[in-house]
């Protein structure tokens, strides 16, 4: 179990890094005194075993915690067997290479409902993830798959769906994207609503679930259909100070990954805001 400490970092390489590679990103994060980075494999896993070993060494040397975001092109609800298998393979490769980098959490966008009912989509996603977690266990790959709460209503990934998968399948935990949850319905943007979300997580996954969370926070633009794009925290109506107050209230541990367009600036703003709450 990860230590019950909250780490702040970026989704990918900070914009102020000297080079456009993961090791440069890790070095820059340590200079900024940030503590974690999500490796963005979103366009495909383009790192080999040797590269992963170098990333692991750099991260361990600088005490930077890593996670991975699996490729975007995944739909575990695809009616086409070939597309389903390709989706599973992309997640598998993200987990295999990610674990060689020292990343334990593999974030993924699980599925689209398309023409399926929500119940049928859930069944298909659950079956695919059971196969994947079984394969990872059999191969001794230490990775937790984290379906993300999604920002568009056409996407599988409500809080209830990702929590249900987490209780049903060993090796699955949620990735809570609070900005997505806000954008999906235009709600989930007050202290009481954030507290209700975290209470639901605690009820479902226990204190252990709260001690090792993976969270995404950014500003967000949305309309009646949900998420449109990420914004900086200050440009958005997302109530990040009250979210951080709720997170502190629950004494949550894990990673806070900032997906804002100004990655490191907003990650530092999140950490500063969090540290200013002095709760009894």
pLDDT of residue 218: 98
Percent of the chain with pLDDT over 90: 96
For residue 251, which of 196, 218, 207 has the smallest C-alpha distance?
207
User: Quick one: CA dihedral 126, 163, 231, 22, positive or negative?
Assistant: negative
**pLDDT tops 50 at residue 3:** no
Predicted confidence (pLDDT) per residue in 172-199, tens digit: 999 999 999 999 999 999 999 999 999 9
Strands 219-223, 226-231: pairing is antiparallel
pLDDT in the model for residue 278: 76
Condensed to tens digits (0 to 9), the pLDDT of residues 37-59 reads 999 999 999 999 999 999 999 99
pLDDT of amino acid 280: 54
154 pLDDT higher than 90:
yes
Give the C-alpha separation, 258 to 269, whole Å. 10
Task: Please state, rounded to an integer, the average pLDDT across all residues of the chain.
Answer: 96
Nearest to 201, CA basis, from 159, 238, 170, 165:
159
pLDDT at 110 (0 to 100): 98
Q: What is the pLDDT of residue 4?
A: 63
Given a cut of 60, whether residue 88 has pLDDT beyond it is yes
- Determine the straight-line distance between the first and last CA of the chain, rounded to whole angstroms: 26
> Residue 140 — very low, low, confident or very high, per pLDDT cuts 50/70/90?
very high
Question: 77 with 109: CB under 8 angstroms?
Answer: no
* Cβ-proximal residues to 48 (8 Å cutoff; 6+ apart), any chain: 97
- Residue 1, pLDDT score: 37
The pLDDT tens digits of the residues spanning 210-267 come to: 999 999 999 999 999 999 999 999 999 999 999 999 999 999 999 999 999 999 999 9
pLDDT of 76 strictly over 60: yes
pLDDT at 70 over 70: yes
């Amino acid at each position: 179990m990860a230590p019950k400490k909250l780490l702040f970092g970026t989704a990918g390489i900070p914009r102020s890094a000297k080079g456009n590679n993961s090791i440069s990103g890790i070095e820059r994060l340590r200079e900024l005194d940030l503590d974690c980075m999500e490796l963005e494999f979103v366009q495909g896993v383009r790192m080999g075993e040797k590269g992963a070993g170098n990333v692991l060494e750099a991260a361990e040397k600088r005490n930077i915690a890593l996670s991975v975001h699996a490729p975007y092109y995944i739909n575990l609800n695809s009616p086409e067997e070939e597309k389903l298998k390709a989706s599973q393979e992309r997640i598998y490769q993200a987990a295999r290479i990610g674990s060689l980098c020292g990343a334990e959490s593999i974030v993924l966008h699980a599925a689209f409902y398309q023409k399926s009912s929500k119940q049928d989509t859930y069944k298909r996603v659950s079956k695919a993830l059971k196969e994947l977690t079984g394969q990872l266990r059999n191969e001794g790959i230490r990775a937790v798959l984290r379906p993300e709460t999604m920002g568009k209503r056409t996407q599988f990934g409500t809080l209830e769906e990702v929590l249900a998968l987490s209780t049903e399948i060993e090796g699955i935990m949620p990735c809570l994207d609070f900005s997505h949850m806000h954008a999906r319905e235009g709600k989930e943007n007050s202290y009481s609503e954030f507290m209700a979300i975290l209470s639901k997580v605690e009820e479902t996954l226990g204190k252990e679930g709260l001690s090792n969370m993976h969270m995404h926070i950014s500003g967000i633009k949305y309309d009646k259909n949900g998420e449109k794009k990420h914004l900086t925290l200050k440009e958005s109506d997302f109530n990040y100070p009250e979210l951080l107050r709720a997170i502190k209230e629950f004494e949550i541990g894990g990673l806070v990954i900032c997906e804002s367009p100004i990655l490191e600036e907003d990650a530092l703003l999140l950490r500063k805001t969090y540290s200013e709450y002095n709760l009894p």
